[in-house]
Homo-oligomer: A and B are copies of this chain.
Amino acid sequence: MALDAIQKNILHEVADLDGIPQGAYNIRANGTSAGRNTTANIDIVTKEDKPGIDIIIKPGTKGESVHIPVVLTESGLKDMVYNDFYVGEGADVTIVAGCGISNCGDQDSQHDGIHTFHVGKNAKVKYVEKHYGEGDGKGARILNPVTNVYQEEGSYVEMEMVQIKGVDSTVRTNVAELADGATLLIHEALMTHGTQKATSDYKVALNGEGSSADVVSRSVAKDDSEQIFEVAIEGNTACNGHAACDAIIMGNAHVVAIPRLDAKNVDAALIHEAAIGKIAGDQLIKLMSLGLTEEEAEEQIVAGFLR
């Protein structure tokens, strides 16, 4: 694979990769493929009608992983891909799909990844998506990821959505539809600083009997940054839905939380909590009494909160 030092660093940040990953992978750098590997059970096929790939995971595939990180280091590049995951019945896989932008130029760099998951009966998916930006150019680093999750009976999907640093503008759109007995867990960790803006929108439809969803967002908004968190859970049958949003605000940041519970069936049980506030004074004082400066104490509290 032909990746330079910056690209390698970004790969490390978004996918915890310090070399060629195990198993299947497709690495996209500046809009083109920089490496691909398939396995006996996981095929990756380039789409012919639009940019992107199909990732086809055979039924019963166990313990394998797919890495599809994206790296952008050219200023002014606008990249959009459609990646479709077909996870076969009873499979149990990990999918890592980070995106990192290093923009040292004056033009905006943007990556929009549209990920659609067709999760078969009783299949289990762990999905990790990390976003990261760096570079001191004036050009903005923009990421607008979309996930569409279609879960068949008894399937289990865990999604870890992380955006810790350096992304100027994000609109994250997530839609999930769950059949009987399907389970969805979403953990979002988000930090914004400077004048960054981040919007997260989750829509979960609990269509199947006994389906359940748990959407938890933890975010920190620093400086003049703005965050909007929207989560809508629709209970259409006997189901359980829970959403929680905890946000810490610092500086002149602005955070909006708009959950929406929609119970359309007497056996739908839906719960939501949200809390927005600054770091508790006594937590700060405790850490400072142990010898930390105020900044160090804040940093430690924020890191613990987002972990």
Contacts and interface: CB of A to CB of B under 8 A. Distances in A.
A258 interface: yes
B274 A259 contact: yes
A68 to B, nearest CB: 35
Contacts of A253: 266
A259 B244 CA distance: 12
A213 interface: no
B251 A266 contact: yes
A277 B262 CA distance: 11
Interface centre among A251, A253, A256 (most CB of B within 10 A): A256
Contacts of A264: 254
A258 B258 contact: yes
A254 B258 contact: no
Nearest to A260: B258
A267 interface: yes
A231 to B, nearest CB: 11
A259 B272 contact: yes
Contacts of A282: none
A268 interface: yes
A250 B266 contact: yes
A159 interface: no
B256 A260 contact: yes
A189 to B, nearest CB: 19
A270 interface: yes
A263 interface: yes
Contact of A275 (B251, B254, B271, B276): B271
A249 B235 CA distance: 12
A155 B166 CA distance: 44
A278 interface: yes
Contact of A273 (B247, B258, B262, B273): B273
Per CB-CB distance, the 7 closest pairs between chain A and chain B, nearest first, are: A269-B277, A263-B276, A272-B274, A257-B261, A270-B276, A258-B260, A273-B273
Interface of A: 235, 247, 249-278
12 contacts: A251-B266, A252-B266, A254-B263, A254-B264, A256-B260, A256-B262, A257-B272, A267-B278, A269-B277, A270-B275, A271-B276, A272-B274
Given A251-B266, A257-B261, A266-B278, 8 more contacts: A249-B265, A254-B263, A257-B260, A257-B272, A267-B278, A271-B273, A272-B274, A272-B275
